[in-house]
Amino acid sequence: MIRSPDELLSAIQQNIVNIVVIVVCLIVALKIYGNQTRLIESIKAEIVTENEKNNVLGLISQSEKRLKELRRTINTKDESSIINTLNTIAGEFGVKIIVIRPVPQTVMAGYIKHPYSLNVSVDSYHTLGKFISALENHPFTFSVDNLDVVPDAASASKKYKLQASFEVSTILIKE
């Protein structure tokens, strides 16, 4: 089919309008797609941030539970249980307690410090170190201060070759 130049021009003009409409529609679609892509990426970033916040909140919740348990443990101490605990730990490590004397307590902001003066006999520095480590790692939260170690004067025939004097403290949280 041979067309006249006018028909050909008319067909091209109709197609140009269609092509322009298609190009405009493609540009609008690309703009909408780009905006939606950015929105999706920002939502993904928010999800990551919220998940991190949830993890931190979970850790805080676990810490609060541990703190409540620690407060309950710390606040259930009385003088006889402290002395019994010291005797039990000493017995586990072969430490002979010579003297336990309560020292006046110290009241601080938020807690009360209960110190005790101890004189003990041990067979070696190693045993003394294990005993002190066990005290400081105990749930009663003992703290050892002012350590003084001297050889036992009559240790030649005795099992206990060293004497140590120190202060051990524990705390009670004020409610």
pLDDT in tens, 134-175: 998 887 778 888 888 888 776 555 676 888 999 998 887 766
> What DSSP state is assigned to residue 137?
T
Provide the domain count of the chain.
Answer: 2
Residues 71 and 86 occupy one common structural domain? no
pTM exceeds 0.85 for this model? no
Residues 14 and 66 occupy one common structural domain? yes
State percent of the chain over pLDDT 70: 88
Residues 69 and 134 occupy one common structural domain? no
CATH number of the domain within which 154 lies: 3.30.70.60
pLDDT of res. 49: 95
Residues 9 and 58 occupy one common structural domain? yes
d(CA 95, CA 127): 7
| End-of-domain residue from the set 54, 75, 96 | 75
CA–CA–CA angle 134, 140, 145 (5° rounding): 65
Of 170, 174, 173, 175, nearest to 79 by C-alpha is 170
167 exposure class (CB count in 10 Å sphere: 0-12, 13-18, 19+):
middle
Task: Write out the residue range of the structural domain in which residue 53 sits.
Answer: 1-75
d(CA 83, CA 117): 11
Residues 44 and 122 occupy one common structural domain? no
| pLDDT at residue 27 tops 90 | yes
| End-of-domain residue from the set 20, 49, 75 | 75
